[in-house]
Amino acid sequence: MKVYFISGLGADKRVFKHILLPGGFEAVHLDWITPFKNESLRNYALRLAEKIETSSPFAIVGLSMGGMIASEISQQHKPMANIIISSVPVASQLPPYMKTSGKLKIHDMIPISLLKSAAIMKRLISVETAEDKLILKQMIEESDDSFIRWGMNAISTWQNEEAPSSYIHIHGKRDIILPVRYTKPHIVLKGGHFMIMNRSKEINKILEKTLLGL
């Protein structure tokens, strides 16, 4: 069975480098496509889903914004498993400041270069290994400014309130991007927003249990 991975805003498939699937499952990374001007997260998700072979059983793993996209895809297509990590399944579980930013367009006033610099500085004092910090730094530097701008707007104006019929939500206790107090995860780990890299052994066990239980 194919397992489709969707990364977070400002990241790509490299963020999943420590994720291993059990035998019989194939990892397929969905690369970002260019969004239309002012395109909604839902419309973007459905266009991205055109890359999925929905005629065969499949599963989705979505990280951060990728989890929100996975939630939207699950409304149209029915994966055998939908696993969201460091994310939220519905818009009402976004932190209030994100929704306020969407209404007031605050994020449009912040230079993307400043956001990238802040994200890189945060990685310098985080718990990832030196190698993983370098990869995260490279992803942030190489990310497309216009895509980040679109993504920030799409997230802050997201409207979906229909959670997938069946999903597993894994979240970090110390997530400061999407604080756990605003959402309702099924599994809470002792990690932050990028725990996909430094709590990968625990996440791999959850993925293995979930996928082999299908």
**Residue 196: CATH number of its domain:** 3.40.50.1820
Report which DSSP code applies to 23.
Answer: T
Q: Cα–Cα distance between 173 and 190 in angstroms, integer?
A: 5
Tokens matching residue 133: 């910090």
Tokens linked to 188: 């809470």
The set of residues, in sequence order, having a beta carbon less than 8 Å from that of 131 and lying 6+ positions away, is: none
Average confidence (pLDDT) per 10 residues, the chain, 214 residues: 97 96 97 96 98 97 98 95 98 91 68 75 71 87 93 94 94 95 97 93 97 94
Give the pLDDT confidence score for residue 182 in this predicted structure: 97
Structural domain total, the chain:
1
- CA atoms of 88 and 171, how far apart (whole Å): 9
Dihedrals phi, psi of 18, to nearest 5 degrees? -95, 0
How many Å apart are CA 58 and CA 181, to the nearest integer? 31
**123: its two tokens:** 């990685």
Q: What is the DSSP string of 147-165?
A: HHHHHHHHHHT-------S
Beta strands in the chain (DSSP E): 2-6, 26-29, 58-63, 81-85, 168-172, 187-189
**Which residues, listed in sequence order, are joined to residue 187 by a DSSP beta bridge?**
170
Which runs of E-coded beta strand occur in 50-209? 58-63, 81-85, 168-172, 187-189
CA neighbours within 13 Å on the CB side: how many for 201? 2
**Residue range of the domain that includes 174:** 2-212
